[in-house]
Structures are given as C-alpha cells and as structure tokens.
Structure 1
Amino acid sequence: MKKWVKLSFSLLIVSILIFSLGACSKKESLKKVRVAEVTRSVFYTPQYVALEKGFFKDEGLDVELKTTAGGDKTMTTLLSNGADVALVGSETSIYVYAQGAEDPVINFAQLTRTDGTFLVSREKIDNFSWDQLKGSTFLGQRKGGMPQMVGEFVIKENGIDPHKDLNLIQNIDFANVANAFASGTGDYVQLFEPTASVFEKEGKGHIIASFGEESGSVPYTDYMAKESYIKDNSETLEKFVRAVYKAAKWIEENDSKEVAKVVQPFFENIDLDILATSIERYQKQGSFGTDLILNEEGWNRLQDIMEEAGELPKRVDYKTLVNTSIAEKALNNK
C-alpha cells in the first residue's frame, strides 16, 4: 500500500513538472514585441481588444505595452531602443526624418483614420456654432502634435484665426491638459475619450463638437518602427498587424457595450457605460478602420495639415516613410 502511495505521488509530481515545463516552453516560444503608446485612450480600442482577446498570442506574440505620455516621449523611447514599436501620430516620423536620422522611423500600419478629440465647453451650449469660440480662452494641445494641428485646421475651416481670434493656450504638457481645464483654465478644451465623457458625466464640461467629424479622414495614429527593426522583423510585424486587424473586425461586428466589457481592464477607473458611450462615438465617426494601410492620399493630406499649421519641416515622399507591404501581406493572409 505504501509503495502504491509513493508511486502515485511520484507520478503526480512528474505530471506537474511536465505540465509546468510545457507551459514555460510555450510562453518562451512567444516572440516579445515592446509597444509604446502615446497615451491610454479609448481611441486605441482595437489594440486593447487584440491584447485582451488573445489575438496577439494566437499569432505567437507576447506584446508588452507601456504608455509614454506625449509624442516626443514616445518617439524618444523608440529611438533609444526602449520599445520596438510606437503607436503615435504620423507627424513624428517626419520630424525625426527632418533631423537627419540615420535609422528613420517608418509607418507600417494605420490604426486610426480620424482625429480622436472632441470640443468640450465649460458651460452647456445647446446650439453651438464655431463663431462662438471668438474671444474665448481655448485650451489646446501641444504645439506640433496632431491634435493641435488638426484642431487649428478645423477652427480655420470655420472662419476663425486661432492665433488672433482666440486666447490660445498651448504650453501645457499633453498629460496635464485635462487637469488644467478641470482646475478652471480655459472656456473650451480639446480632449480625447474617455476623458471627454467623464467630464460631461461629472459636470466639468460638455461635449459640443467632434474634431474627427469636422476634419474628415486623416492618418492620425500609426504603428511605426525603426527601419532596421522592420528589416529584421518583418514577419513578426506581419503577425502583429494581423492580430490588430482581427481586433478591428471583431469591433466592427459587436456593439459598443460588448466591446466596452472587453477593454475595461485597461480603464479600471472608468464606468462601463462611459466606456460604451466613448467607443460608440468613435464607431459612428469611423475612427476604427479595418483597412490598416496608410495610403498616399492620406499621407499627402497629413502634410497639408502640417504645412497649414506651420509645422512641416519639409515635404517627404510617401514611399520614404511609409511601408505598406507588411499590412498588405497581413491582410492577404488573414
């Protein structure tokens, strides 16, 4: 009897060891990809769905995500090898190229195809018209970033000179813009979701317009990597894009409440109903595109907006900083 007990115990230990070694082996076989995102926002919902639904792991990838608030910080992280991939505004790749980078940053997939900010007013306005901004204090985004440039583009399109007709504040760090408005700075502010909806629910502000709807299609946030990394890891990035594509398709096929349940772990302090509302806003204005390819028309429109804002160092040819082959292969082999 004692021998049987000992044998059974030994077999149990061996089984546990085999299972543990198998699990470790599987985890070790996953290819790690370090991603730096410019901010934590519902705007990037496809990325969070890909993580939470296991689409990256299905492709054999172990994606490590960190938030590096602001385009400058995100790009610094990428250039200093603190990340393999950056999710950030397309304009940053142009800035790096203009500085003469030996290893330029290449856009290989487009995650969002509209502006992601909303115009939030301190006071409730039932019938808003853009000319009501004149003479007000407008708390804008960081100078040279996509939110600021698209924001100014939309304001100008509505017959307002942001530098003459507004008291324009642009010297507040990206991560502190929302707090500054909550503390009493500005009559209007430009905010991403879910912050805009949180402010509305808490009575700190009121969403009165969408910069995404006003500006139309624009390559707003892209996945990018250094040219050298892309050269050595093209198959890995193809798998990465395929996982994001699966997530984008899943979002397209599900309602905002279901999507909100999946991404809530990334927004633990945000109520589920706020998340659902935020996601629905982005769904309705077409921010989440299943076509992850940055086309030449979009690239030229981006540079037009930068030029209008006085932030374009020089025009850069589409093929110089955009690589569509990875996304094309990913979508053809889905």
Structure 2
Amino acid sequence: MKKWSQFATLGILTAALTLTACSPNKDSSNEALQTVRVSEVIRSIFYAPQYVAIEKGYFKEEGLDIQLDTAWGGDKAMTRLLADQADIALIGAETTVYVQQQGATDPVVNFAQVTQRDGSFVIARTKIDKWDWSMLKGKSLIGSRKGSMPEMVSEYVQKKNGLQPFTDVNIIQNISFDNQATAFSSGTGDFLQAFEPSGAILEKAGQGHVVAAFGEDSGKLPYTVYMTKSSTIKSAPATIQKFTNAVQKAQNFVHASQPELVAAVIAPYFEGVAPEILTAVVKRYQATDGWAKDPLIDQEEFDNMKAIMKDAGELKADVKYEELVNTTFAKKAKAK
C-alpha cells in the first residue's frame, strides 16, 4: 500500500482549493467553459462512460471543459489529487480508505460511481465451456500487485470457492500490468487475470480464451468512482453537481445503446484497437453488468468493498460510509 500521508498534509495547505473558473455558469452557451482537471487511474475501455460523456458533449452541456490526464496507477492518480494537480480523480474507492487510514484532515470523498463490479476476467490457454473455480487449483495465475483491488477481489473469489491463494494457486505478482498479456502469450502462467481489451485481443490471436469474470462472483462494489477532496465539495458544490449530471447522461447512453455505437463513440481514445475488438469488449462489459446505471454509491456496495479489503488484511480499522461517500450529487443527477 502506498503511503499518502505527506500529500494529505499538503492537502491541508490547499484546503481552500477552488476549481479553475469555478463560478457557476448560468448560461454555458454565452460564457466560457469551466475547466475541470480529471486524473484517471489508467486508460481503459472499462471507463467507457467517461469517454462517452466527453465525446457526446455531456460535460460541455453542463458548462464544463474536461482536461483529462492518465496517471497510470492508483497511487499516482491519488497523489495528483492530493497535491492539487487534479480536481477530480477516477480511481477505485479503496484508495479513499487508504488515505483515511493515514489520518487525512481533508478526506477524499467518493461522489459518483462509474463501474460497479470488478472488470477483470480469467484468461485460459484453451477454451473451457463450463468453468469452475476449482480449475485454478495447482495452477499458476498471473495476478496483480498486493493491495490492489483486482488482487483483493481475485483472492476473495478464490476463498469463496474453497481455494487458498498462494497455497492452492500460485499467484505470479512480479510482472508489471502493461506486460502481463505479453508474458502470458509467451508462455508464462496457466491463467491470466486481465482487463479488456487484453482478453479480446488474445482470443483474436488464438492465444487465450476468456472463461470467467471475477466481478460476477465478487458481487457489486464501488470499483471505480469519481472522487475529490472534502474541501473541494464545500467550495464548489455546483461544479460537482454539473459533473455528476454529465456522468449520469453518459451512463444512460451506455446502457441504452448498441455495443457498436458505444464502441464508435469511444474509439478516439483507443487508437490502434480494431473496431471489432472495441465492440466485443463493450458487449462483454454490458453482459457482465460492469457499468453502473447511475452514479449512486450505496452502502451495501461500500460494505462489500470493505469486506473484501478486510479479508485481504488491508482494512486496518473500520471506516464510516457517511465519511467517505457523498450521495447528494448522485441522487440529484439520478432524479433529473
């Protein structure tokens, strides 16, 4: 687990943060758009609603101009948020727990959910028509780093199905995220835990087969959410509301549209990924209920996340839902 206490201290010094040009825009067509800096943990098709909101102009309809930055790591995205290099971050809600455990005086608060299940899949070397988690026993699985939500979910699902991680299953954790699919295609590991489009690409190349979704067995949780500092919510609530309204519009689009249409909208963010791959991934995430239908983070999902963290030994002390989740903006956006 990365330590962010030094940045939490820095956050105190910048508690009066206001978003760039954060005065409410009564008429966004006649006034300059308000800039909001967003740091996403990685670039992923799993975050399709975000790219839809940008490309379909939903943020601009709310008077917002999004400056999107890809941090390539949850710790990096959180660091940018705490250091006032971003106004909003898109990361797993577990990171707000880590910050809270470090004694932050300006807590990072989750306010809008994007994904509601783990988005990783089990990739096998051969096609398996009837998957059973016991098939992992005695095998090696390329997994994720300790303390990351993908790894915690993987171990949680294994235990739920009678397996003991690292005893029954050899979890390989010394391969960087961006090299895992290449390592698997080169012969490392019996199975791979991967996010899309790795699964679809491996299938097309005949080097792997998607056989199971971790998210279907782990249950719903606030897997990827928008978050900001408590001080920002206090200083710019109108901005956060506008942002959440745009997220809801994008979620409506993603759930109401055919995979081909969603894929076409997000294509500019995934240069080099074939249209058929994008379409297959969108279809898979729609089928596995990965995308939240609204931005609301409910307590049952949050409690499930805490249970998974506790099982992994990463929850040092209990944290209150009310302290780390603000549902005000999501409720208003959902009701529009």
Is the structural similarity TM-score above 0.5?
A: yes
| Secondary structure at the counterpart of residue 29 of structure 1 | coil
Q: Which residue of 2 aligns with 1:132?
A: 135
The correspondence for 2:146, drawn from 143, 146, 152, is 143
**Does structure 1 residue 39 correspond to structure 2 residue 33?**
no
| 1:94 counterpart residue number | 97
Equivalent AA in structure 2 for residue 212 of structure 1: G
* SS of residue paired to 2:234: helix
Residue correspondences, number: 309
Aligned position for 2:264: 261
Deviation digits for residues 36-60 of structure 1 (CA, Å, limit 9, x no counterpart): 1111111111111001111111110
1:164 has 2:156 as partner = no
Q: Identify the residue that residue 198 of structure 1 maps to in structure 2.
A: 201
Write the distance in 1 (CA, Å) between the matches of 2:56 and 2:43: 18
Instruction: Determine if the alignment matches structure 1 residue 84 to structure 2 residue 87.
Output: yes
Report the more deviating stretch, 67-76 or 126-135.
Answer: 126-135
Deviations along 1:272-330, one digit per CA (max 9) or x if unpaired, are: 11111111111112112222111111111110011111111211011111111121222
Unaligned runs of at least 5 residues, structure 1: 1-24
Shift of 1:26: 6.5
CA change 1:27–1:146 in 2 (3 A) is farther
Q: Which structure has the greater CA radius of gyration?
A: 1
Q: Matches of 1:283 and 1:32 in 2, distance apart?
A: 31
Q: Is 2:219 aligned against 1:219?
A: no
Q: Kindly indicate whether residue 72 of structure 2 is the aligned counterpart of residue 74 of structure 1.
A: no
* Contact 1:71-1:88 at 8 Å conserved across structures: yes
1:296 corresponds to which of 296, 299, 307: 299
Q: CA deviation at 1:199?
A: 1.4
Task: Look up the match of 2:255.
Answer: 252
- Superposed displacement of residue 173, structure 1: 3.2
In 2 relative to 1, CA 134–27 (structure 1 residues): closer, same or farther, beyond 3 Å?
farther
**Alpha carbons of structure 1 residues 83 and 166: separation in structure 2 relative to 1, 3 Å:** same
2:285 counterpart of 1:279: no
* Structure 1 position 156, deviation (Å): 1.2
Deviation at 1:181, TM superposition (A): 2.5
Counterpart residue type for residue 100 of structure 2: Y
Q: Runs ≥4 in structure 1, deviation > 6 angstroms? A: 25-28
- How many Å separate the matches in 1 of 2:94 and 2:120? 17
Inter-partner Cα distance in structure 2 for 1:203 and 1:156: 30
Deviation string 1:19-72 (CA, Å, 9 cap, x unpaired) is xxxxxx969711111111111111111111001111111110000111111211
- Greater mean deviation of Cα atoms: 196-205 or 110-119: 196-205
Asked if 2 retains the 8 angstrom alpha-carbon contact of 1:69 and 1:175, the reply is: no
- Describe the shift of the 1:202–1:108 C-alpha distance in structure 2 as closer, same or farther (beyond 3 A): same
Distance 1:324 1:125, change over 3 A: same
How many Å separate the matches in 2 of 1:27 and 1:33? 18
Separation in 2, partners of 1:166, 1:152: 10
For residue 62 of structure 1, the aligned residue among 58, 65, 69 is: 65
Which digits, 9 at most, give the CA deviation of each residue in 1:157-198, with x for residues without a partner? 111111211111223333333333234321111111112111
Q: Does 1:155 align with 2:185?
A: no
Cα distance between partner residues in 1 of 2:180 and 2:76: 16
Q: Answer yes or no: is the 8 Å Cα contact 1:150–1:305 preserved in 2.
A: yes
Structure 1 counterpart SS, 2:53: helix
Q: Partner amino acid for 2:135?
A: Q
Q: Give the 3-state SS of the residue equivalent to 2:167 in structure 1.
A: coil
Give TM-score, length-normalised by structure 2.
0.88
% same residue: 51
Measure how far apart 1:204 and its partner are. 2.5
C-alpha distance in 2 between matches for 1:244 and 1:82: 22
Structure 1: distance between partners of 2:88 and 2:186:
35
